[in-house]
Amino acid sequence: QVQLVESGGGLVQAGGSLRLSCAASGRTFSTYAMGWFRQAPGKEREFVARISRSGVTYYADSVKGRFTISRDNAKNTVYLQMNNLKPEDTAVYYCAGARGVSGSAAQLYDYWGQGTQVTVSS
C-alpha cells in the first residue's frame, strides 16, 4: 500500500552536511507519523527523529541541535537535514511511516524504506 524511497546519502567529512529525502507513495501520506532511524554495524537500529501528523518534532539527544526533520505533505516527502556531522553518525539511515499515534520504537512503524548509507569521515 505504501512505498518509501530514501535518497541523499553519501560520504562527507566531519563537520559537513547532508540532506536526506524520503519519497512516499500512497494517498494517505498525510495521516502517517514519519520517522528516521539509523543502524550502524554491530548496533541495534536506533531512533533519530520523528514528526507527527501535525508537525510536532522529536529528536534523539545525540542529534538534537544538529538534525532537523520536516515534511511536505503536498509532495509526499519527508526530509532529514543533517548538519555538523560526526563520525558517530555513520550508519544506514531508514525512513519509516506509522499509522496512528507513533513513538520512537522501531517496532511501532508499519512502512520502511530500503535505507541510504551515510558515512562521515574524520
Q: What is the pLDDT of residues 72-106, one digit of tens each?
A: 999 999 999 999 999 999 999 999 999 877 799 99
Rounded Cα distance, 75 and 67, in Å: 21
The amino acid that residue 88 corresponds to is E
> Which pLDDT belongs to residue 40?
97
Name the pairing type of β-strands 77-82 and 18-24: antiparallel
Q: What is the pLDDT of residues 42-77, one digit of tens each?
A: 999 999 999 999 899 999 999 999 999 999 999 999
> Which pLDDT belongs to residue 101?
72
